[in-house]
Amino acid sequence: MRVLSYNIHKGIGGRDRLYKLQRIIDVIEHENPDIICLQEVDRNVSRSNHDDQPLLISDYFNYAHRMYRMNVHLQDGGYGNLLLSRWPFLTRHEVSLQKGERKARSAQIAVIDSPEGIVRLVNYHLGLAEAERQWQVEHLLNHRLYREAKDVPTLIIGDTNDWRGTLKSKPFEASYFQEVTTPPSRYRSFPAYLPIGSLDKAFCCNCIEIHEARIVKNKNSKVASDHLPLVIDFHVKSGSQ
């Protein structure tokens, strides 16, 4: 099974600053993921021609199972997270990760009925301050909507903004999660045209077996967004259901 995580930067190129949503779609399509986790997806915003990006992307890939959460509101529109799956959602939740007066953030939680069994995917976009990120992950892992499926094999993925790599030891290790995207030198994803920061990360429980994890670095991905996509091929370990 393959999951792709991608901060699409509203479809605006990281270097040329041009809005071209098709470039984003082409990058995703080339990887042929089963589950797509996107961040910074616009809906009805002038910078992206007032496009309904969740609808355009969802219709293009024709995945029957989709969920969108607008986190930041801008006049009549805004932007947020989009999660698409080839396979059905058994449950789906949104958890606010907004701390105080900081920018609104959220996590999407989907329990998915995959061909290898039930698996839970969390798609999120964390804050810019280290203390904020620590609070956000702890809040997520202790939230009742997360804990209602606490025994389901889980993969947590997205743009963490974690420049110093502190999320690995706390709070994830305390909850028996391992980081997939390590060492950081192999997973530099920002800025796309000359990546120096490993910001797009994944963490999983020991019921998930990682076959391969990689950053998608090619001619198209270097210009489509200010982040490079993260792709993970994984399996649900037998006997973990």
Three-state SS string across 149-186, please?
A: CCCCCEEEEEECCCCCCCCHHHHHHHHCCEECCCCHHH
- Which CATH number goes with the domain that contains 222? 3.60.10.10
pLDDT at 24 over 70: yes
Residue among 65, 63, 61 at smallest CA distance from 28: 61
- Are 180 and 213 contacting, i.e. CB atoms less than 8 angstroms apart? yes
What is the rounded (10 degree) CA torsion for 72, 224, 156, 185? Answer: -130
Is residue 145 included in any domain, yes or no?
yes
pTM: 0.97
Residue with tokens 């490079």: 228
Containing structural domain, residue 128: 2-236
Note whether residue 169 is domain-resident: yes
Say how far apart CA 123 and CA 61 lie, in whole Å. 18
**Cβ neighbour number for residue 127 with a 10 Å cutoff:** 20
Exposure string of 9-25, with b = 16+ CB inside 10 Å and e = fewer, is bbbbbbeeeebebebbb
Mean pLDDT to the nearest integer, 116-139: 97
Read off the pLDDT of residues 207-222 as tens digits, 9 standing for 90 and up.
999 999 999 999 999 9
- Tell me if 3 sits within 8 A of 121, measured CB to CB: yes
Tally of domains within the chain? 1
Categorize the per-residue pLDDT at 237 as very low, low, confident or very high, splitting at 50, 70 and 90: confident
> What are the tokens at 181?
């995207």
Q: β-strand 106-114 against 154-159: which pairing, if any?
A: unpaired
Q: Would residue 111 count as lying in a domain?
A: yes
117 located within any domain:
yes
pLDDT digits (tens, 9 = 90+) for 64-79: 899 999 999 998 999 9
Average pLDDT over residues 182-211: 97
Domain membership flag for residue 241: no
Please check the confidence at residue 241 and state whether its pLDDT lies above 70.
Answer: no
Residue 122 dihedral angles phi and psi, to the nearest 5°: -120, 125
Amino acid at 138: E
